[in-house]
Amino acid sequence: MGLALLGCMGALKELRCLLGLYFGVLLLLFATQITLGILISTQRIRLERKVQELVLETIQNYRMNPEATAAEESWDYAQFQLRCCGWHSPRDWFGVLSSNETEGPHVPCSCYNTSSTNDSTISHKIFFSQLGLLGPRARPRPSADLCVVPANEYTYSEGCARSLQKWLHNNLISIVGISLGVGLLELGFMTLSIFLCRNLDHVYNRLTRYR
């Protein structure tokens, strides 16, 4: 919005300095996007390894620090939206979570497939758990308030690494199209700003001649 305001002010007031600044910032953004695209393409394996390390670290440290739960809540939301559990599989959670109600391995409520069961107690518990992920974090949750469920046939069996690959594959055309559209818009606005700057030069030269 600030960049658009800068370009509008430069065009309306016919100020070359603002138009030049607008062009420079757009060019910098365009170059940054191209650089990021190249880095992601060439360093894909390293990037995947880094993301895997961050996710597994988040799982291992799940709710250990009640004051720092942003990463955990983000991962819960990712599992809920992608319909997956863990990075490789639900086994990533085994040994991390426990419950006083039942024995055996447990997973977060975000791993539970509510559409595959009619258990109203668990569905009610998961509903309010996921509803909290849609809003701002109100307060840190102690371990006793954790929403966990037993790892059974009703939990998602696929890891999020695979689900994320499927999502990217299914939406690849949309992602590329949006990226190209944004790039073309930036090129168009840069061309327009140069055109306006050159026209201002012509207008200034004509006014000088008339004088």
pLDDT attached to residue 201: 59
Calpha distance 176→123 (Å, rounded): 37
Q: Quick check: 114 and 126 in contact, CB under 8 A?
A: yes
User: pLDDT by residue (tens digit) across 97-142?
Assistant: 776 666 778 888 888 887 766 655 555 555 555 555 555 444 444 4
Strand residues in 145-192 grouped as ranges (E): 148-150
Instruction: Give percent helix, percent strand, percent coil of the chain, each to the nearest 5.
Output: 70, 5, 25
User: pLDDT by residue (tens digit) across 39-49?
Assistant: 888 888 898 89
Of the two residues 159 and 121, the one the predictor is more confident about is: 159
Q: Does domain 21-133+145-171 have CATH number 1.10.1450.10?
A: yes
Q: So where are the chain's domains?
A: 21-133+145-171
Strand residues in the chain grouped as ranges (E): 106-108, 148-150
User: pLDDT by residue (tens digit) across 49-79?
Assistant: 999 999 999 999 887 876 667 888 889 889 9
Q: Is the dihedral of CA 153, 154, 160, 165 positive or negative?
A: positive
Averaged confidence pLDDT in the chain: 79
Calpha distance 9→142 (Å, rounded): 52
